[in-house]
Amino acid sequence: MAKEKTYDVFISYRRQGGAVKAELTKDELAKRGFRESRMFMDTRSLSSGNYMDIILKAVEQSRNMVVIITKDCLKGLTENSPWAQEIAYAIAQGKTIVPVYFDGITEIDREVLPESIKRLSFENAVIYVHQYADASFDRLAERLSKEPVKLPKWGRWALGAVAAGGLAVGGYNAVEKANDSLQPGEVYVVASSSAKSYHSTKKCTTLKNARHRIKKMTEEEAVQQGKKPCKRCCK
């Protein structure tokens, strides 16, 4: 039996004004190491069959969802809209969801969202600023989790040696990032919309079996997303 295809990113957008921005986002993520074959976008990735069945299956097989928010894209949006259904399914699946605000948008009015996707207004969004386009997409790429690269045995040994301070080879930056410290006001969170807590240390025992990338954000951002201090490490 053939192995099911998996995706690093599902790019979600509404046809009203979103297609061009979705294409731009896909191209920019490709420049930042995300393989095109592992990004799902309906205009390029759809095969024959029931539209919604294919869309929801692709959401299920994706690690992240990028939601393109453009001017007027939320007008007249209903629970039964295919776009609302795919976002609601990603929320229910606990996917990492990152909205990208275009056209000068800086926030979403929660009241205009269908009940099933109101949580979208609390997700930590990337605000696209044309003058700082590269920085905007850099920030988006940093928030998305990718499939871990499987190193050969010698590669794992080399990385371990670097961590022990005995070898200077490629991969040193990865070790540095894994051990970086928090700045004042920052906390650690699991990059998943289902994560409920934030943490003061990456060594917290509750993070030991995290299935998503662990990232940093300000404590204020974490609270805005509805997260609460971990009862173990934030005493």
Q: What is the pLDDT of residue 222?
A: 84
Per-residue pLDDT band at 152 (split at 50, 70, 90): low
Bridge partner list, 55:
none
pLDDT tens figures, 172-201: 333 334 445 788 888 888 877 678 888 988
Within 10 Å of residue 103's Cβ, how many Cβ atoms?
13
Min mean pLDDT across 5-9, 24-28, 82-86, 221-225 is at 221-225
Q: Which of 51-60, 86-95, 104-113, 156-165 has the lowest mean pLDDT?
A: 156-165
pTM flag (> 0.85) = no
Per-domain residue ranges of the chain: 7-143, 153-229
Fold type of domain 7-143:
Rossmann fold (3.40.50)
SS3 of residue 94 by DSSP: coil
Amino acid at 131: Q
CA-based nearest residue to 217, from 148, 128, 124: 124
CA 179 to centroid of chain Cα atoms:
21
Q: Closest Cα partner for 86 from 111, 125, 116, 112?
A: 116
Is residue 165's pLDDT more than 70? Answer: no
Are 122 and 89 contacting, i.e. CB atoms less than 8 angstroms apart? no
The share of the chain scoring above pLDDT 90, in percent, equals 45
| Mean pLDDT (the chain, rounded) | 81
Q: Which of 15-29, 43-57, 167-181 has the lowest mean pLDDT?
A: 167-181
Range 183-204 burial, b when 16+ CB lie within 10 A, else e: eeebbbbbbbbebebbbbebeb
